[in-house]
Amino acid sequence: MIFSSFQYNYKQGQYESIQSHSMIYITMSVLATSLLFYAINMKSYKRPLPKWYDEAKIGIFIHWGVFSVPSYRTEWFWWMWQGDKTTMPEIPEYMRKYYEPDFAYANFAKQFHAEFFEPDKWPIYFRNQEHVM
């Protein structure tokens, strides 16, 4: 079993695959360890929930990734662009209009810098949005 990671080749202007044997060792070690804690049965599945989980009134899950770079429409951006082009035809049109024809989704990764990542301000923002919920 060979796992690959990717690095950006600036000279060729593209990502290339790198086989990593240390990654194989790490992955296999993690998998072997995780099998000790989880079995495919109801007893393993029915683990207790943390106390706060049952007491929480609302939760906010922030899903943030390279789809945030174009900041257009949906986190399903890639699928609407490369897969189902009929549900949101404006997405393939957006890509044709603003990006080179050979632009790949992976190219968004090098533009994903998270320079405005300020999680300490998120509770204040969400508290101020009470009227929206």
Q: How many whole angstroms separate alpha carbon 67 and alpha carbon 86? A: 19
Tally the residues of the chain. 133
Residue 96 falls inside a structural domain: yes
pLDDT grade for 61, boundaries at 50, 70 and 90: confident
pLDDT at 57: 77
Is 72 part of a structural domain of the chain?
A: yes
Query: Based on the domain organization, do 77 and 120 belong to the same domain?
Result: yes
What band does 34 get if pLDDT is binned at 50, 70 and 90?
low
Mean pLDDT of 38-44: 72
**112 and 75 in one domain?**
yes
Contact 6, 16 (CB under 8 A): yes
Q: Does residue 91 contact residue 77 with C-beta atoms inside 8 Å? A: yes
Q: Is the pLDDT of residue 91 over 70?
A: yes
* Predicted local distance difference test score (pLDDT) of residue 13: 60
15: nearest Cα among 83, 103, 82, 113: 103
42 shares its domain with 70:
no
Residues 82 and 127 in one domain: yes
Amino acid making up residue 43: K
Tokens representing 10?
A: 């600036």
The predicted structure's pLDDT at residue 4: 42
Q: Are residues 34 and 86 in the same domain?
A: no
For the chain, the domain total comes to 2
Q: How many CB atoms sit inside 10 A of residue 120's CB? A: 7
The boundaries of the domain holding residue 103 are 66-132
3-9 contacts: CB < 8 A, separation 24 or more? 3/27, 6/106, 8/110
CA distance 55 to 11: 54
Q: List the structure tokens of 118.
A: 């300020």
| Domain identity same for 76 and 128 | yes
